[in-house]
Amino acid sequence: PLVIPNFVDLARFRPRSQAAVGRRPRIVHVSNFRPVKNPEMVIEVFARVRREMDAELWLVGDGDGMRTVREMARAARVEAHVRRFGLRRDVERIVGRGDVLLVTSRSESFCLAALEAAACAVPAVASRVGGLPEVVVHGETGLLYRAGDRVAAAGALLDLLGDRRRRRTLGEAARARAARYSTGAVVSRYEQLYRRLAATAESSEATEAVG
């Protein structure tokens, strides 16, 4: 089959200044909070990180699982360190101010959130499922862990949040990789496909008309 990936607007999703020196490390999670995204694991992993580091969690998006997420955060006594942004159209302004993106999905075809974070030079800690390894190259643009492994996910977050130089290196590599999926590189491939399909349809209609 012909495979054409998702794309990202590099002018919209771009690195942003991290001016606030001394602020707490920021973990960002972007999803629709459905079961396939495993949002409960986000809180479980964050609670583990909090035992070792004074970090904060930013949640972007909304969905059926948000209520459970809030209840779990309260039960784990980390609610005060969780900031909820809800549904937003300016995701790039939030993700670009984070330090690491956390992806806990049980399955993913591609994961646009990881690509958008990469374009913002924000490395990802993500589950090794579906198309995620195509976007997040382990040890190069982020870190991957076995799906569901909360200990490994928390460890990967602590590694990156505690090493600014490595985080910057992975972020820069992520931005460079995101360029492969820019609108300029990918949209033309969609256009070529549509033109080819339209031409085939017109040819078929003409043949039927003659017949």
Q: Over the stretch 66-89, which tens digit does the pLDDT of each residue have?
A: 999 999 999 999 999 999 999 999
CA distance 149 to 195: 45
**For 52-71, what is each residue's pLDDT tens digit?**
999 999 999 999 999 999 99
8 Å CB contact between 104 and 29: yes
Does position 29 have pLDDT exceeding 70, yes or no?
yes
Q: Give the residue-averaged pLDDT of 122-146.
A: 97
CA distance 45 to 51: 10
DSSP 84: E
